[in-house]
Amino acid sequence: MKVWSTALTLVLAVLLTAAGDASAQKKKQPAAKPGEPYPSRPVRLIVPFPAGGGVDLVNRILASRLSEVLGQQIVVDNRSGAGGNVGADVAAKSTPDGYTLFACGVASHGVSPAIYRKLPFDAIKDFEPISMIGTTPNVLIVNPNVPAKTIAEFIAHAKSAKVSWATPGVGTSPHMTSELFKAATGTNLALVPYKGGAPALQDVLGGHVAGMWGNLAENIAIIKSGRARPLAVSTLKRHSLLPDIPTMAESGFPSFEVTAWYASCTAAGVPKPVLDTLNAAIVKTLNMPDIRERYAQNTVDVMPTTRQELGAYMRAEIAKWTKVAKSAGISLD
């Protein structure tokens, strides 16, 4: 399929360039010189997850053309660990001159502030929002042997029998979506934590667990192959790649909405003219037809915003997931 041949090509490119990025990561960013025009040297983009994953892919697509708009190289720096918190901490403590960008998103600026009692950074006070990049839904998938072909049938099944349910990591967007689903539907799913989406998916396909909520980009190929059955998406609108799959909202749960979202931030204290330059450059990049096409092929709906709009969105996400975490009794050190 065109979608997945393109995605595979992009992932291979990621792996081939990762070694070159690694050497650049070790070089300390020099401080900006007083009065120098921005940008006058390469810009570092910290991605808080490993190379080849969804967050990494989304940000490398952005970097590929943002470098042309800014007239400087964008050096991707993968700083994974602690669900994205390691990279977020590095970015929060970087020199506030606009030469370090951060791939913020639902993990660092939604879920983590809601579930961790102590973080080495403040998701709001230590960051400046620049622009949203885009969103993609989570999708509820089940093993084809599960006796449910609609979300209503699955809810009835989950209320009448014990259902084992995979969650790709504690505190991840799919895990929190599962908690929200339990609370909204009154189902008592037996959540089984995994160390990532791949092992969780393997157990769904093997019938060891009934299903899972997962990121659409990571599961679309399995869905198209028929090896897993999709029952609902988590966004308020159906997705173009799954036009026949209903949303939770239209399935009787109007307030149910979850998006995996990707955005750009930088450290607090960056001068406003630099922030405005970055916002304009990112918005221009996101409006390029070829960039929009590449994102569409990878299930991401492009959504450029103002800095103020992204800031308001992040605060709303933290508030929402804090409520879910308290209801589910999730609190981590």
Q: What secondary structure, in 3-state letters, does 131-180 show? A: EEEEEEEEEEEECCCCCCCCHHHHHHHHHHCCCEEEECCCCCHHHHHHHH
d(CA 264, CA 328): 29
- 76-123: pLDDT as tens digits: 999 988 888 999 999 999 999 999 999 999 999 999 999 999 999 999
User: Of 19 and 127, which is predicted with more confidence?
Assistant: 127
Query: For domain 2-25+40-136+260-328, which architecture applies?
Result: 3-Layer(aba) Sandwich (3.40)
Q: Judge whether residue 155 has pLDDT over 50.
A: yes
Higher-pLDDT residue of 252, 18: 252
Amino acid at 249: A
Q: 137-251 adopts what CATH topology?
A: D-Maltodextrin-Binding Protein; domain 2 (3.40.190)
**Looking at residue 171, what is its pLDDT?**
80
Alpha carbon distance, N-terminus to C-terminus of the chain? 43
Kindly state the average pLDDT of the residues 244-271. 96
Least confident of 135-144, 211-220, 282-291, 305-314: 211-220
Residue 122 buriedness (CB in 10 A; 0-12 / 13-18 / 19+) = exposed
What is the pLDDT averaged over residues 316-327?
94
Answer positive or negative: Cα dihedral of 48, 49, 54, 57. positive
Beta bridge partners of 142: 211, 229
Read off the pLDDT band of 333 (50, 70, 90): confident
Residue 10 clears pLDDT 50, i.e. is over it: no
Domain span(s) for CATH 3.40.190.10 in the chain: 137-251
Q: What global pTM score does this model have?
A: 0.83
Report which DSSP code applies to 107.
I
- Which residue intervals of the chain bear CATH 3.40.190.150? 2-25+40-136+260-328
